Amino acid sequence: MDRYVGVVTAEGGTTTRKEIKLPDLGRALYTDLFDGGRAELVEAKSSAARHHVRLALGQLLDYARYVEHNSRAVLLPSHPGSDLVALLHSVNVACIYEQEGGGFIRLDP
């Protein structure tokens, strides 16, 4: 995630985390990343395995109910495969992944 934040910042963007306070929960939830320039909620995972992508998607859908945003994305360390990209796109979520040799690829729905 730090490398992606560096790319966003180098391009003139801003990033932060959003705090979500839910009275019934007793503690706050925090988003992984909020890209201020895009007004985008981003959930990062350390693996592109199916269960990680599904968890990220669920977290994004939960956070999206409480945080104003224009778009949502999942940030992964590698391409998750076309089936999981299609899953993300089916609910209007972008897939961002790190490519070998550096840099990031963004697959918008």
pLDDT tens track for 89-100: 999 999 999 998
Euclidean distance between CA atoms 109 and 23, whole angstroms = 34
pLDDT at 13: 84
Instruction: Tell me the average pLDDT across 45-65.
Output: 97
Spans of all domains in the chain: 2-17+29-46+55-107
* Banded pLDDT at 109 (limits 50, 70, 90): very high
With a pLDDT cut of 90, the percent of the chain lying above it is 73
pTM of the predicted model, to two decimals? 0.91
Over the stretch 26-38, which tens digit does the pLDDT of each residue have? 888 999 999 999 9
